[in-house]
A and B are shown apart, each in its own frame.
Chain A
Amino acid sequence: MRPILLKGHERALTQIRYNREGDLIFSVSKDQQICVWFSHNGERLGTYRGHQGAIWTVDVDPTTTMIASGSADNTIRLWDVKTGRLLKTWDFPTAIKRVEFNEDGTKLVAVTEKRMGHLGTIVVLNINPDVNAEQSDEKALVIVCEESKATVAGWSYLSKYIIAGHEDGSISQYDAKTGDLLLNIPIHELNNPITDLQWSADRTYFITASKDKTAKLITAKDLEVLKTYTADTPLNSATITAKKDFVILGGGQAAMEVTTTAVRQGKFEARFYHKIFEDEIGRVRGHFGPLNTVAADPTGKGYASGGEDGYVRVHHFDKGYFDFMYEVERERANKLAQQAAQAQAAAAPATAKA
């Protein structure tokens, strides 16, 4: 496969998101602008300008009409995807580290930084899905993280829970309506912050990446750890691929240590693990710095990674990727195909008689 290199940012990438159909890629970086790209050829559709600080996070609503972005300029901004128009700005006392729309695009969860005497909070905003409508200033819910600040947060299936990852390596489950803390489980090693949290397609389980060099697959309902993927480097991002049962992990030495690390040693590769068997099945090289974010195409055709080097690399998988199967998977597929053929053969004479 030949990756497409997107050079729209001058500084390190912080997050990449695909939209629901997988045809657009939104990328944000510390250079204060948001770029949107066509995933199939890497053509840049446009940029969204207005933030006054490094942008930490971006998310697109399910209908691809609006995107929300959170920045170190202490604002969340809502933009019209099609025109790049700024729709709304919410001001906060501290930087925004994470935003995420819920499944129907009516709510936005945001994580605010703990700084300057302010505790880290998780905020829920109501969003009017109509582009031309006035958005409300009011915060629907504010959850204050007194113990350890949240680093990432997201909506579970049916917007039932808000799941948050914390700086101390624990995962919390909050009731999305009342904001009550239902569960808090130390899942990753103590004081290894959770750097990423991405959902499966149906939002019943999610994957977390942590600086403790592991990524874990966790259920949303009772925060049970289903799988653990162990890497040899601190992880910045993890994502679940569609179509194939893989997960992609991205990481590398911390940015400040990069100058003392060779590219080979730096482990600046996207690592592919089998989702079920937890084995590492391959790596993709390319970045000259740690991978800050990886995102899988929801259609399963490819993935994109953003690195500290300021590049987004969009990969479209080729045949070898789709053909890869474990022996047991292959056997099962063959057996199913055989059964189907037999069933068909059995059905054919019956219909002939009839």
Chain B
Amino acid sequence: MYTEKVMDHFQNPRNVGEIENASGTGTVGNAKCGDIMRIYLDIDENQVIRDVKFKTFGCGAAVATSSMATEMVKGKTVQEAMEVTNKAVMEALDGLPPVKVHCSLLAEEAIHAALWDYAEKNGITIEGLEKPKSDISEHDEDEEY
């Protein structure tokens, strides 16, 4: 059901991990719906994304879109990163099954949330960037078995 590119990015995801003292982080999604994405950005003084890492809880499409989106924003300026839309990510993956399109939206939202965090911390505005509406529940149950 997934394209070869989706399978490749799912099985060998690029840029998995965390960044200590990241310039910006963003977490979007909701554990209830089964998708959470967290993006870490390391941005230099010229507003170029030097490094990017992600962590994702979700299906194959969610992991693959996270991986592809991180690849696409790496090395770009924050303004250029705004052009990495869900459509662009989906096209780069040679498409997603219709029921998985919402996963690609999440990747775009996660990048925007991380950029927003960066912009807020540095008191700058990024053209076209709106405050993300993150619906992640902060108090997930940590029941142990």
**Do these two chains really belong together in a complex?**
no
Name B's A-contacting residues (CB within 8 A).
none
